[in-house]
Amino acid sequence: MSQKNSRIVLVTGGAGFVGSHAVLVLLEEGYSVIVVDNLVNAYKAENEELPESLIRVMKLTGKSLIFYNINLCDKNALKEVFSKHKIGCVMHFAALKAVGESCTIPLTYYSNNITGSIILFEVMKEAGVKNLVYSSSSTVYGNPQFLPLTETHPTGQGCTNPYGKSKYFVEEILKDLASSDKSWKVISLRYFNPVGAHPSGDIGEDPAGIPNNLMPYISQVAVGRQPKLLVYGNDYETHDGTGVRDYIHIMDLAEGHNYALKKLFSQDFSGFKAYNLGTGCGYSVLDVVKAFSAASGRKIAYDIVGRREGDIASSYCDSTLAFKELGWKANRLLTDMCADAWRWQSKNPNGFQ
Ligand code: WQD
């Protein structure tokens, strides 16, 4: 690790949903955090230096952080950050992530998610920082050949959209990098469906425009921002015909990054390793509607409509490897996910604005 400080973590995309919760956990664990974010998916008031999500993270933790408004494709700006701080490790969240949008503007997705990542890795290499936790996705598995999904399931086959492919390609790049130079230590965390919010209800998911994902959509129906939920298909081979997913509480997910960091800095770790972060439980769309309705005390109006293109029937993981090797497992239940998502949404009906 030479003169680098393993307690200084650079977090790309730290102002976003997953990133901001991970930053909170890192600060609570006593790390110094430097956030790089281009604010493409985060709100910053004109008179403020920092995005609102990070202002709130600082209030919640009573700790401060350093923020740079930088696009990862701006190599010189990124180099300057590495020259100013003794960064010991990078957590790389920054990416565009809307599946549907990625099909309409693939080049923008590839440029942001792949070129941005390559530039980051180049700068890390030049600076001698070779410790990385990468934010990957269950989408790398494509349409499951078996369930529950283990890390040995093939990846890259049947990834139907540029977003999912970009996550898969970056994993492949990282595998090549780690095998070319044994001093790299890389952990790729494959997230299932992150939902919920910090239990304070002060930070949470704040999608721009109409939400694409189920939980934020349901929350907006509950709070009256959307009239009703459209349930995409009830003719899947699942217990009630609607799609089944492995929802994971954002705080469990954020804590998973802390465990990954500990593993990264342990003597026995080297190379590239991927871990599933999920609960291992599958819930259908209607299970989530019911749980959210109970947590919020609001009726969730919905219509059943046709299937959404590219959707799969079921996806849930086996997260034993993360437990065995990282010592991590998800502890929070669907009821906690709904209660916390509702607290965030009802306290902040218009998100961070
Ligand atoms: C969940 C279920 C829909 C919206 C997401 C990301 C993906 C990956 C995993 C990070 C499905 C149904 C949804 C709605 C609905 N995460 N649905 N009405 O598709 O599993 O994928 O999480 O990388 O990249 O996109 O999540 O929340 O969109 O859908 O009926 O308005 O809810 O059909 O069965 P998905 P989702």
Q: Is 32 a residue whose pLDDT tops 50?
A: yes
Cβ atoms 150, 321 nearer than 8 A = yes
For residue range 250-286, list pLDDT tens digits in order. 999 999 999 999 999 999 999 999 999 999 999 999 9
For residue range 190-234, list pLDDT tens digits in order. 999 999 999 999 999 999 889 999 999 999 999 999 999 999 999
Q: Which among 109, 163, 236, 247 is annotated as catalytic?
A: 163
Q: How far is the CA of 122 from the centre of ligand 1 (A)?
A: 33
Q: How far is the CA of 163 from the centre of ligand 1 (A)?
A: 13
Is the pTM value of this prediction over 0.85? yes
Q: Is 138 a residue whose pLDDT tops 50?
A: yes
Q: How far is the CA of 194 from the centre of ligand 1 (A)?
A: 10
For residue range 176-190, list pLDDT tens digits in order. 999 999 999 999 999
Res 179: pLDDT: 98
For residue 205, the tally of other CB atoms under 10 A from its CB is: 23
For the segment 308-321, the average pLDDT, to the nearest whole number, is 95
Could you give the domains of the chain? 5-347 (3.40.50.720)
C-alpha 261/C-alpha 206 separation (Å) is 26
Tokens found for residue 310: 């590219």
Cα→Cα distances 328→88, 193, 288, Å? 22, 17, 24
Tell the residue nearest (CA) to atom 10 of ligand 1. 137
Residue keyed to tokens 């934020």: 216
Res 6: pLDDT: 86
Alpha helix (H) ranges present in the chain? Answer: 17-28, 52-61, 75-84, 99-104, 106-110, 116-127, 162-180, 214-222, 250-264, 285-296, 320-321, 334-347
231 pocket-lining for ligand 1 (C-beta < 6 Å): yes
Is residue 236 part of the annotated active site? The answer reads no
Tell the residue nearest (CA) to atom 9 of ligand 1. 193
220 pocket-lining for ligand 1 (C-beta < 6 Å): no
Tokens found for residue 114: 């792949």
Res 1: pLDDT: 40
